[in-house]
Structure 1
Amino acid sequence: MPVVLVVVAAVVAFGLYLWLCGLAFVYVTFPVSLLATGAGVATGVLVALAVTFMLLLGDQDERVRAPADVVAGKLPIVRTPKAIRPDSAWPGYFVVQAWLDWWVAVERVSRVTAGVWAGAAEGGMAAGWFTLALWPVVLPIVVFLLAGTIGAAGAMLLVAVALTVLALAGWVLAVVAVALLRGLDRLARLVRRSSGTCPHCYETSARPVYQCPGAHGDTAMHRDVRPGLLGVFWRRCGCGRRLPTMVVRAARVMTAYCPRCSAPLHDRAGLATDVRVPVFGAPSSGKTHLVMAGVVGLLRGPSPAEVTLADEHSRRTYDNFAQVIDSGGSASKTDAAHQPIAVTLRFRSGRREALLHVYDAAGEAISDAERNTEYFYLDGARTLVFVLDPFAIPAVRQRFRRTFETLFRTANASADLPEPSYQNVATRLRKSGVRTERQQRLAFVVSKLDLVRRLPGLDGLPDDSDAIRAWLLDEQMDNLVQAAERDFREVRYFAVSATDARLGRGPVAPFAWLLADEPIPLPGQRNPGESRADETTKA
């Protein structure tokens, strides 16, 4: 009987428990679970967004793609030629960092969610069977945790969708902006005819290397400042300094260097119009004296622009030039063992600025097929000057050499024929792929006008292009004339005396004609031996 009573009591108690559980489920568990679902979803979303925003607001994880990763090549999307190390700069946020931040946020939200579940499970295990007995009360907690997990996962999914949309929009806008800015940058440099010419190795680069003003070693060099994956309008250097993109902007505030030999370039290289004028011809043809008289005349002559010497080397060279011109002396022979003499003048007029590089290489060196391959300035020159010694013309030499031997010695007549000295350079340009007939202009200069006029029948030789051309043809130089006019887009003939600027149009005339086709203020002409003080006195 007692056993029966115990069983009946147990059944009644269990039935009462189930009835109470049913009442609790209907009136407590279900409505509370509904509330727990909403609260859990909201909590999960808020936690996920809070973690994400904390990350974006500066609570960075160790997985940040820094400039060192760019330099080390850990960003395959940021590609540069294998021979060039990528610049030390922060990549654009949507290049790779946005996805890393999202993944770090997912990991952090997962850790928070897993921690809450682990805490709840630990509490349930500690309560033991009591947790199972109070399942109507525990169930809303489980629902809350599940809803929170789903809410967090949904929030991170929404963040991923929003990030994808923003990234796609950012990439589209960035690609358009990069294409537009690169096009404007290139157009500006084409209109200005700007580039960077190295005074050391003579390399001509459309995009020089620019140095960040910050002090941080060799990583300060930025080899490609065009808009791109490292920044559209601005880039952030590894040192934290903000730098402008585009060559025409970087050249205003950063120091330029040669990408080939790392030598410093002239100020505003890459922005200023860059004009290279190689002067070539046979040894003793009068190249060096023409360069001297031309440079001195350009610097001393009247001009709408401010003309100055661009560097200390040019200043020292100019001082030597001016001393020879003012004293009426003779130019020393150019040493073939040394690099070509290069003098750089800077023209400024308002916002317009130009660099004029005049090169004088020894005739023996520039005629050497092996050595002249190192003269990179020839390839990028739009304007060249060929100097012909009239005393080296075979017909002139044959008629007058014996009779006027003293005059030939005074003229230091070139022993080499004019045509090979021209063909050596023309062949060098063709082998380098330069289409001279499309772009280059040639000033064809007959030198030593003051001396050649002492020869019978040549005392009236004028400094007129057509007349000089006709005279060259009469002197059986038609092969050379035809070759020059075939090889170059435009040829103009000059007869010049570097020692007496009163004859003809003066030694500045060939340079002035060449500069007339460049986007810089055209200088006037004056006797190179006449200083500005002399002109003021005359006025």
Structure 2
Amino acid sequence: MRPADLGPFLLVAVVLGVGAFFLGPGFLVGAALVATVPGGLAALVVALRAPFDPETELVTPEQVAARFPAAGPGHGRDQVWPHYLAAQARVDLAAMLQAVWTGLGEVWEWAADHKPFDGPGRSWWYVGGLLLVVESAAAVLTGLAATAVAGVVLLLAGLAWAGVGGAVRLVESLLHRRARASARCPSCFWRTSLPSYACTCGLVHRDVRPGLLGVTRHRCRCGRTMPTTVTRAGRDHDPQCPQCDQVLERGSGAWTDVSVPVFGPASAGKTSLIYAGLEALRRQVEAGGGTLEARRDADAARFRAGVEQVRAGRVAKTEAGAAPVGLVCTVAVRRRRALLHTFDAAGELFATRAGTEELRFLDEAGRMMLVVDPFSIPEVAAEVLRGPEDTAAAAPAVDPPETAYRATVLRLQDSGVRLDRTDLAVVVVKADLLVDEPIARDLCPERHAVRDWLRRQRQDHLVSEAERDFGEVGYFLVSSRTGWDPGDRHTALAPLRWLAERGRLPLPPPTAVAAPAEEPAS
């Protein structure tokens, strides 16, 4: 505030002072009371002008990180304009008080320099000074009152604003928790419930939840707006992984997300089981009026090639040095959509604890599939594999199933994964080669029968450890060569459907499906 802002009010004080000097003490009391009006009006004008003064500090996106604590995992606050009630309101309230105080100080300095109350006697100075004191007191009280009223109004608005933002966050959280929505990166395997979204200017917004930066929208530093909540932001912007900035599938973070890592020894049949199970699931979903398709062209091509190779019985073994492969499919049934991730890695990586160290797709999966090659069990191999021809036909896994199980579980326990909240499907594969053997005469796909058969083959320690470590364990007998039909006795769909349903993946009810078509998957 400048002294000129109070010029008219100082003139009133001078006039009143002249009148009080000549008209006597009675007029002085009235003049003092009247002098409170211009002082209060001056303070009110100055206080209300302060927020619009160009000299008042403006909280910019670059200052957000210093003013607010970090919110996103591993990232600071986004460089976006903060909501007015979160930052600028406090600056403006302080500016209102500061403007009144600074203005009064400058007025008193001006009065001391120009001595407007010098007159024919000291009483003239006393009268004028008294009226200036009264005006100053009125200005201070009015400034405090105006700031207090503005503060109360802004506080109530802030509480309402925070309530709306909290309600929106709560509703979104409950809906996503009910749907078990999350985002899984197919590149670095990072899992999150809060993807990032890039503005058209290139700035990546790491946290689009309603909060200090906005309830319904966040305003980017470039001026464009970004909708809050993962559901609304994902409609017009591609989600990104907050860890590696890889562009994720549309719907990541908003749709139900089911991840199924498949683990087991080398040559156990993990890759064949994945493609056979996905193809059977595709047929089941399409029979119910839905769709299942790979999200990207590369995934779709790999899906088609994998299905053709498994159908022809010539699946190439996953190379030991190859990076783990993640296949992402979209499942749409009626109005519900979901993402299904399956992960495959070379069996050699599951042979030791050190080999599983970099398999981050195992973390927070919630659902897992252990592939058990029956011909890698010593008791079964000793009775069934009678010569080189039998061994070549069965192509047994390199290690027994407990080797991969223990190495994987130890890695998960070391990483703090809650296995008691994880479902495990124990899948005995190669049923087409096993069921005709005398050792499997009592074996059928019923889960308790598979469990009891494993215990009779001296795998009771594997069964006991699995049921001790995991929250829920299911047992299945499947054939990747013949189990393409969802209605097949040894369908490869059974373990995948069980895990998918427990992950709330939208699936149609089991129905009869036509005989397997020979055309490749789309």
TM-score (norm 1): 0.82
* 2:61 match: 67
Structure 1 vs Structure 2: percent identity of aligned residues? Answer: 31
1:290 CA displacement:
0.8
1:54-97 deviations in Å (ceiling 9; x for gaps): 344x44435122110113x2x1x534589522211233434443
Q: Map of 1:113-262 to 2, 5 A cutoff?
A: 113-114=104-105, 116-117=107-108, 124=115, 131-133=118-120, 142=129, 145-170=132-157, 172-173=159-160, 176-177=163-164, 179-211=166-198, 213-215=199-201, 217=202, 220-262=203-245
Alignment deviations for residues 270-303 of structure 1 (CA, whole Å, 9 cap, x no partner): 1111110011111111110111111222234323
Counterpart check, 1:416 vs 2:407: no
Secondary structure of the corresponding residue to residue 102 of structure 1: helix
Q: Is the 8 A contact 1:296 1:528 kept in 2?
A: no
Query: What is the CA deviation profile of residues 383-438 of structure 1, one whole-angstrom value per residue up to 9, with x for unaligned ones?
Result: 111111111111111112224x31320222212112111221122222222232x3
SS at match of 1:497: coil
Counterpart secondary structure, 2:339: strand
Structure 1 unaligned blocks of 5 or more: 1-21, 535-539
Question: Does 2:38 correspond to 1:47?
Answer: no
Is the Cα–Cα contact under 8 Å of residues 19 and 27 in structure 2 kept in the other structure?
no
Taking the aligned partners of 1:498 and 1:152, their CA distance within structure 2 comes to 87
Is structure 2 residue 492 aligned with structure 1 residue 507? Answer: yes
Count of residue correspondences: 498
1:101 to 2:95 alignment: no
Look up the SS of the partner of 1:47 in the other structure: helix
CA 1:477/1:111 → structure 2, altered by over 3 Å: closer, same or farther?
closer
In 1, the alpha carbon distance for the partners of 2:498 and 2:18 equals 106
- AA in 2 matched with 1:47: A
Corresponding residue SS for 1:46: helix
Match of 1:395, SS state, is helix
| 2:426 match: secondary structure | strand
Residues 32 and 140 of structure 1 are in contact (CA less than 8 Å); yes or no, is this contact kept in structure 2?
A: no
Instruction: Provide the secondary structure at the position in 2 that maps to 1:475.
Output: helix
Task: Give the drift of 1:112.
Answer: 4.4
Secondary structure, aligned partner of 2:208:
coil
**Deviation digits for residues 491-521 of structure 1, max 9, x if unmatched?**
2222211111265241112111111223232
User: Which one has a bigger Cα radius of gyration?
Assistant: 1
Contact 2:333 2:507 in 1 (8 A): no
Give the gaps of 5 or more residues in structure 2. 1-16
Q: What SS class does the counterpart of residue 263 from structure 1 fall into? A: coil
465-474 or 137-146, larger mean C-alpha shift: 137-146
2:356 maps to a residue whose letter is N
1:347 corresponds to which residue? 331
Tell me the equivalent position of 2:14. none
Matched to 1:451, the amino acid is L
Match of 2:427 among 442, 445, 449: 445
Matched, 1:401 2:395: no
Q: Measure, in 2, the Cα distance between the counterparts of 1:306 and 1:145.
A: 82
Distance of aligned partners of 1:103 and 1:468 in 2 relative to their CA distance in 1, 3 Å threshold: closer
CA distance in 2, matches of 1:122, 1:351: 79
SS of the equivalent of 2:502 reads coil
- Once residues 48 and 457 of structure 2 are traced to their aligned partners in structure 1, the CA distance between those partners, rounded to angstroms, is 86
1:281, 1:372 → 2: CA distance?
A: 11
Change (3 A) 1:115 1:351: farther
| Paired residue type of 2:463 | V
1:284 corresponds to? 267
Looking at structure 2, the residues matched to 113 and 30 of structure 1 have their Cα atoms a distance apart, in angstroms, of 27
Distance change (3 Å), C-alpha of 1:366 and 1:312: farther
Question: 1:124 Cα shift?
Answer: 4.5
Give distance in 1, aligned partners of 2:134 and 2:465: 87
What corresponds to 1:363 in structure 2? Answer: 347
2:326–2:341: 8 Å Cα contact kept in structure 1? yes
Which deviates further from its counterpart, 236-245 or 478-487?
236-245
8 Å CA contact retained: 1:390, 1:446? yes
Q: TM-score, normalised by structure 2?
A: 0.84
**Displacement after TM superposition at 1:485 (Å):** 2.1
Structure-1 residue corresponding to 2:477: 495
Q: 1:96 to 1:32 in 2, by over 3 A?
A: farther
- Whether the 8 Å CA contact 1:208–1:257 is kept in 2: the answer is yes
Task: Find the aligned partners of 2:335 and 2:48 in 1 and give their Cα distance.
Answer: 47
Residue 203 of structure 1 and its aligned partner are, at CA, apart by 1.1
User: What root-mean-square deviation, in Å, do the aligned CA atoms of Structure 1 and Structure 2 show?
Assistant: 3.3
SS of residue paired to 2:81:
coil
CA–CA separation in structure 2 for the residues paired with 1:359 and 1:311: 16
Query: Is the contact between residue 195 and residue 205 of structure 1 (CA under 8 Å) also seen in structure 2?
Result: yes
Amino acid at match of 2:316: S
Q: Note closer, same or farther for the CA distance 1:37–1:316 as it changes in structure 2 (3 Å cut).
A: farther
Partner Cα distance (2:39, 2:64) in 1: 36
- Please tell me whether residue 335 in structure 1 is matched to residue 326 in structure 2: no
| Greater Cα offset, 510-519 or 279-288 | 510-519
Pick from 275, 279, 293 the counterpart of residue 308 of structure 1: 293
CA separation of 1:33 and 1:139: change in aligned 2, threshold 3 A: farther
Match status 1:431 vs 2:426 = no
SS of the counterpart of 1:133? coil
